[in-house]
Structure 1
Amino acid sequence: MATGASFVTMLCVDGSEHSEQAFNYYTSYIHKSDNKLIILHVAGTPAVPALAISAPLSVPIEDLKRITEDNVHKSEVIAERYSSICKHLGIQHQYAIHHPNGRVGEAIVDEAKKRDADLVVIGSRSQRLSRTFYLSED
């Protein structure tokens, strides 16, 4: 539980319809005016070809540069979209982009601990009707 006076929610977004639905659920049913909202985008590590597509048997420097620029651009578009919606709704928020060294789930947990989040909201891609949730104080 956060030690500050306000309730801290970390909302994870990735540009999918599922994260948009999670955002809409948060704004409709959870958000209170004194809440602190942190919108987190965990930018997954892009897949990089082992060999250059344009020049086989060479290091794919240009391909890596293009893939990285595309990844950064996607993160910026996501940030602008959610920041614009929050501004329109009058919701104060912070936006954070995290570039993980490992798995996305581990990065989310690490960021939640680091930011002392009381609640983490994540859209689910599961097709199952029932889901298992694990809640923890630490």
Structure 2
Amino acid sequence: MTSSESRVVFVAIDGSQNADYAFEYYCKHIQWKNDRLVLFHFMDPVSISKDLKESLRELYDIKEYYMDGLKRIFTTKAKKYGIDVSQLKFEFTCDPPEPGKAICATAKKYHVQLIIMGSRGLSKFKKALIGSVSDHVLRNSGIPVLTVPFHK
């Protein structure tokens, strides 16, 4: 594949500095002119009983506002780096309830050739204790994964 061909690149975004840095790293160092981007955000699922839905309607409004904000932020960033924003695809999900599984499933859905993720830099102890989303994706996606450590 050459830089003149089209490829699908998946970038995990969550509003963190790590994810922002990973997106900017893609824009500065990896971007090809004809790339189609899938920008993905996993939201923790909120389990709400029928009786509570009315009182928590604001929560859904806040999530919608947050998702719209992420779309605006990353569309603006993409324009800054000369990315054709008509090629951006935003995907927000909270199903399945695990981010690593959701990333793998969404990447396969869009026939992605490269997954780019920020890294939180967990210690070996924390990784062993709670696991790492990027480790899960690397082991289970079957797709090349670039993890970008955040530099202050």
TM range, smaller chain: 0.7 to 0.9
Which position in structure 2 is the counterpart of 1:53?
Answer: none
Which position in structure 1 is the counterpart of 2:92?
Answer: 98
Q: Closer, same or farther in 2 for the Cα pair 1:26/1:96, shift >3 Å?
A: same
Higher helix share: 2
State the aligned residue count.
Answer: 127
CA distance in 1, matches of 2:17, 2:143: 29
| Structure with the greater alpha carbon radius of gyration | 1
Map 1:31-110 to 2 at 5 A. Answer: 31-46=31-46, 48=48, 59-92=51-84, 93-102=87-96, 103-110=98-105
Which position in structure 1 is the counterpart of 2:149?
Answer: none
SS at match of 1:77: helix
Higher relative contact order (CA 8 A, sep 6+): 1
TM-score normalised by L of structure 2: 0.70
**Aligned-residue offset at 1:104:** 1.7
**Aligned-residue offset at 1:106:** 1.0
Moved more, 98-107 or 118-127: 98-107
SS at match of 2:102: helix
Which position in structure 2 is the counterpart of 1:27?
Answer: 27
Amino acid of the residue matched to residue 124 of structure 1? S
Identity over aligned pairs, percent:
22
Which position in structure 1 is the counterpart of 2:112?
Answer: 117
Amino acid of the residue matched to residue 95 of structure 1? K
CA distance in 2, matches of 1:77, 1:45: 19
SS at match of 2:111: coil
- Aligned partners of 1:18 and 1:125 also within 8 Å: yes
**Aligned-residue offset at 1:137:** 4.8
Cα displacement string for residues 39-69 of structure 1 (whole angstroms, at most 9, x for unaligned residues): 1222332365x7xxxxxxx932333211111
- Aligned partners of 2:38 and 2:89 also within 8 Å: yes
Give the unaligned 5+ runs of structure 2. Answer: 125-133, 145-152
Amino acid of the residue matched to residue 24 of structure 1? E
Runs of 4+ in structure 1 over 6 Å off: none
**Aligned-residue offset at 1:10:** 0.5
Q: What is the root-mean-square deviation in Å for CA atoms of aligned residues?
A: 2.8
